[in-house]
């Protein structure tokens, strides 16, 4: 139930806070006072889209907060599933802001949520119906979802099972299409896969090879220089020249001299030992460099082979991935696909058998759905007719037509359409053929009256649905709303005194001037003020004793209804 609505900087509303009760909450006021703006604000808080003109002029930020009390424990579970902490007292606070740049921020119980998440959760909180929503009633494609709401718990279990079979069959159809679909495309795919597999196999790639080849290419490219420099290094270190001893020769002489010194002074023995180790290490290095230099050979043909191999690797990378590892992964994937095709005949037999089993489940579930819908259609049609008779459509006949579709969809194999004969002697026609807005409003209200026992939603909102309704019919519509209000919370924006008189709580929306600016205010009316407002709605330019008496009589009708 909606407990409280706080609005700040929205259109003509500077700031207001409205506390609602259970039952029928009526909102009245002059045309243009801002009655529907309260409903628009609530829709915004629940994820609806609003333009920049929603923000009050010269303000930076609009804010709407809606506080709900929730009886349904499953809603708390949904909050937790979405990472939102439920309150111990069962309340849910939804807030949404809109800045002057058109950006909004949504929160539930203080946690920031996306608009889509907010919409998904808000579906279980409130059912809003306004004149613009006639279109959903006029659209037959929406009727099946409306009927399904009356079908009970068993139906939803069957529908869930059907949906699983439907998705499974779709997946099986897709796999079979890949295997036995377009034969020419299949053969082309096989040719491509075999070519790619052979090409990669022929390349015989390995992850380490490229790095090794790059290093080898660098060595081969600079072979002449390598030979020259290593030979020169070997001469300097080991062989020496005719007129210049090598580094090993010089170091050997130094070792001998230091040996003589250490014999004379033992403190030099440590240096002698270290230098002898250096000499041994230098000799090893010198011989190694010399062997390396002697083994080097300038081989242009080897360089050519290395470059060709690198070009092969680069080609594979360009065609099948940005690295050798990616090429090898691609090879694994196409190998699996080829294996899939090679076993296709056996796989087709297996998939076909699976599809037949799933199709049987689907047909069984679809027949069950149809039976449940037909049972609900007959029951609901009778309830709707009774409800319409209560609202001065005494000769109305209502029929919910459940007929087979030509194809399957996620809802089953049924198409549903609401048909009505509003007057005696008229044939049943689609709702779209109803010309009277008043009749359409009563059909909608009748649907809600029946839905109240089949739906968990606690709050219904009716935004000026009284178009084309007046007099005795308006009184019947008001009575119907009051009866719905005994089981659900209702917020109703109306211009009709017969409906306003049924209020359990009455709010007046007015415009006033403050600091040279027009603002909208919301007043909660006591019994006397409510009677005066009902009298005003009767159309007199001034409220007279007669209109007050008439308004009191309308309110007396509300009290009589409560005592029935």
> Which residues on adjacent β-strands are paired with residue 112?
107
Q: Are 105 and 112 in contact (CB under 8 A)?
A: yes
Q: Is 328 or 74 the better-scoring residue by pLDDT? A: 328
Average pLDDT of the residues in 433-461? 75
pLDDT at 373 over 90: yes
pLDDT for 444: 78
Cα–Cα distance for residue pair 196/467, rounded to 1 Å: 70
Asked if residue 560 has pLDDT above 90, the reply is no
Q: What is the pLDDT of residue 321?
A: 85
33 near 509, Cβ under 8 Å? yes
Ranking 83-87, 161-165, 243-247, 507-511 by mean pLDDT, the lowest is 243-247
For the 1-125+457-524 domain, the top CATH level (class) is alpha beta
For every residue of 16-76, DSSP letters joined together read EEEE--SSEEEEE-STTSSHHHHHHHHHHHTT----GGGBPTT-SEEEEEEEEE---HHHH
Comparing C-alpha atoms, which of 547, 471, 474, 494 is closest to residue 31? Answer: 494
Dist. CA 143–CA 218, nearest whole Å: 76
β 13-19/24-28 pair status: unpaired
pLDDT number for residue 412: 92
Neighbouring-strand partners of residue 91: 69
pLDDT tens column, 274-297: 888 998 998 888 888 888 887 777
For 460, half-sphere exposure in the C-beta direction (CA atoms, 13 angstrom radius) is: 28
Rounded CA gap, 319 and 155, in Å? 54
Q: Beta strands 517-525 and 111-113: pairing type?
A: unpaired
Mean local confidence (pLDDT), 53-75: 87
Q: How far apart are CA 4 and CA 42, in angstroms?
A: 10
Average pLDDT over residues 123-146: 72
Whose structure tokens read 């080829």? Answer: 338
Distance CA 81, CA 554 (A): 48
**pTM of the predicted model as reported, rounded to 2 decimal places:** 0.62
pLDDT, the chain, mean: 85
> With bands split at pLDDT 50, 70 and 90, how would you rate the model's confidence at 519?
confident
Q: Specify which of 123-137, 458-472, 501-515 reaches the highest per-range mean pLDDT.
A: 501-515
- pLDDT grade for 135, boundaries at 50, 70 and 90: low
Q: Report residue 136's pLDDT band, with 50, 70 and 90 as the boundaries.
A: low
Domain ranges of the chain: 1-125+457-524
More reliable by pLDDT, 332 or 219: 332
What Cα–Cα distance (Å) separates residue 286 from each residue in 172, 253, 507? Answer: 73, 17, 104
Q: State whether residue 111 is helix, strand or coil.
A: strand
- Structure tokens of 540? 């007199």
pLDDT of residue 122: 84
DSSP reduced 3-state for 525: strand
Which of 142-156, 335-349, 441-455 bottoms out in mean pLDDT, i.e. has the lowest?
441-455
Q: Inform me whether the pLDDT recorded for 526 exceeds 70.
A: yes
Cβ(92)–Cβ(70) below 8 Å: yes
Distance CA 549, CA 261 (A): 137
- On the question of pLDDT at 235 being above 60, the answer is yes
pLDDT value of position 257: 87
State the greatest distance between any 2 C-alpha atoms of the chain, in Å, as a whole number.
142
Q: What number is the average pLDDT over the span 505-534?
A: 89
Which band of pLDDT confidence, cut at 50, 70 and 90, is reported for residue 437? low
pLDDT digits (tens, 9 = 90+) for 496-517: 898 999 999 999 998 888 877 8
Closest CA to 159 of 141, 147, 171: 147
Tell me: the pLDDT tens digits for 313-332? 899 999 988 889 999 999 99
* pLDDT number for residue 454: 66
Using CA of residue 164, residue 167, residue 171, residue 172, what is the dihedral sign? positive
pLDDT at 354 over 90: yes
DSSP 350-363: HHHHHHHHHHHHHH
Secondary structure class of 125 (helix, strand, coil): coil
Other C-beta atoms lying within 10 Å of the C-beta of residue 427: 8
Q: How confident is the model at residue 301 (pLDDT cuts 50, 70, 90)?
A: confident
Q: Which long-range contacts (CB under 8 A, 24 or more apart) does 510-513 make?
A: 510/29, 510/30, 510/33, 511/12, 511/30, 511/32, 511/33, 511/34
Q: Which pLDDT does position 561 carry in this prediction? A: 63
Q: What's the CA gap between 311 and 305, in Å, rounded?
A: 10
365 CB-near residues (< 8 Å, 6+ apart):
158, 161, 162, 165, 412
- What single DSSP character describes residue 241? B
Q: Identify the three-state secondary structure at position 261.
A: helix
Segment 101-129 shows an average pLDDT of 87
**Residue 132: pLDDT above 60?**
no
Work out the average pLDDT over 250-268.
86
Whole-angstrom distance, CA of residue 534 vs CA of residue 249: 123
pLDDT, tens digit, for every residue of 157-205? 999 999 999 999 999 998 888 777 666 777 788 899 999 999 999 988 8
Gap between the terminal Cα atoms of the chain: 25
Between strands 104-108 and 111-113, the pairing is antiparallel
- Percent over 90 (pLDDT), the chain: 27
* Interatomic CA distance for residues 76 and 126, integer angstroms: 16
The DSSP result for 281-338, as a single string, is: HHHHHHHHHHHHHHH----HHHHHHHHHHHHHHHHHHHHH-SSHHHHHHHHHHHHHHH
Assess whether pLDDT exceeds 80 at residue 9: yes
The pLDDT of residue 67: 94
Q: Who wins on pLDDT, 81 or 341?
A: 81
**564, pLDDT greater than 60:** no
């Amino acid at each position: 139930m909606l407990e409280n609505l706080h609005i700040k900087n929205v259109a003509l509303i500077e700031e207001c806070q409205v506390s609602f009760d259970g039952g029928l909450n009526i909102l009245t006021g002059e045309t243009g006072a801002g009655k529907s703006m309260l409903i628009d604000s609530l829709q915004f808080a629940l994820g609806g889209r609003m333009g920049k003109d929603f923000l009050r002029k010269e303000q930076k930020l609009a804010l709407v907060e809606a506080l709900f009390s929730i009886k349904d424990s499953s809603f708390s579970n949904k909050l937790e599933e979405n990472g939102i902490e439920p309150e111990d007292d069962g309340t849910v606070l939804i807030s949404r802001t809109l800045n002057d740049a058109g950006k909004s921020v949504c929160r539930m119980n203080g946690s920031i949520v996306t608009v889509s998440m907010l919409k998904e959760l808000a579906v279980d909180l409130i059912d809003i119906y306004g004149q613009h929503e006639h279109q959903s009633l006029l659209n037959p494609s929406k009727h099946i979802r409306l009927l399904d709401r009356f079908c009970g718990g068993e139906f939803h279990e069957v529908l869930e099972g059907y949906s699983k079979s439907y998705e499974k069959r779709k997946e099986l159809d897709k796999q079979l299409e890949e295997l036995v679909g377009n034969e020419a495309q299949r053969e082309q795919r096989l040719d491509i896969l075999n070519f790619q597999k052979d090409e990669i196999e022929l390349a015989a790639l390995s992850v380490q090879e490229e790095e090794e080849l790059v290093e080898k290419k660098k060595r081969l490219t600079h072979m002449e220089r390598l030979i020259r420099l290593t030979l020169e290094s070997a001469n300097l270190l080991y062989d020496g020249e005719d007129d210049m001893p090598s580094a090993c020769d010089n170091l050997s002489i130094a070792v001998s001299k230091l040996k003589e010194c250490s014999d004379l002074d033992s403190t030099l023995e440590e240096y002698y030992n270290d230098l002898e180790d250096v000499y041994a290490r230098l000799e090893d290095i010198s011989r190694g460099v010399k062997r390396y230099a002697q083994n080097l050979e300038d081989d242009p043909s080897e360089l050519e082979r290395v470059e060709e191999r690198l070009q092969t690797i680069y080609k594979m990378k360009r065609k099948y991935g940005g690295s050798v590892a990616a090429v090898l992964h691609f090879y694994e994937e196409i190998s699996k696909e080829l294996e899939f095709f090679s076993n296709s005949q056996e796989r087709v037999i297996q998939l076909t058998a699976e599809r037949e089993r799933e199709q049987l489940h689907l047909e069984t579930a679809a027949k069950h759905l149809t039976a449940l819908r037909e049972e609900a259609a007959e029951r609901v049609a009778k309830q709707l007719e009774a409800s319409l008779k209560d609202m001065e459509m005494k000769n109305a006949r209502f029929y919910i037509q459940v007929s087979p579709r030509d194809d399957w969809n996620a809802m089953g194999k049924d198409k549903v359409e609401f048909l009505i004969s509003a007057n005696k002697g008229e044939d049943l026609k689609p709702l779209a053929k109803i010309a009277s807005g008043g009749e359409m409003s009563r059909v909608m209200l009748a649907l809600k009256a029946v839905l109240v026992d089949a739906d968990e939603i606690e709050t219904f909102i009716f935004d000026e649905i009284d178009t084309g309704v007046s007099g005795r019919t308006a009184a019947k519509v008001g009575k119907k709303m009051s009866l719905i209000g005994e089981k659900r919370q209702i917020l109703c924006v109306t211009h009709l005194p017969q409906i306003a008189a049924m209020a359990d709580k009455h709010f007046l929306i007015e415009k006033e001037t403050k600091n040279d600016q027009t603002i909208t205010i919301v007043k909660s009316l006591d019994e006397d003020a409510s009677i005066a407002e009902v009298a005003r709605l009767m159309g007199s330019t001034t409220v007279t004793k007669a209109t007050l008496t008439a308004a009191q009589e309308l309110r007396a009708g509300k009290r009589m209804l409560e005592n029935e």
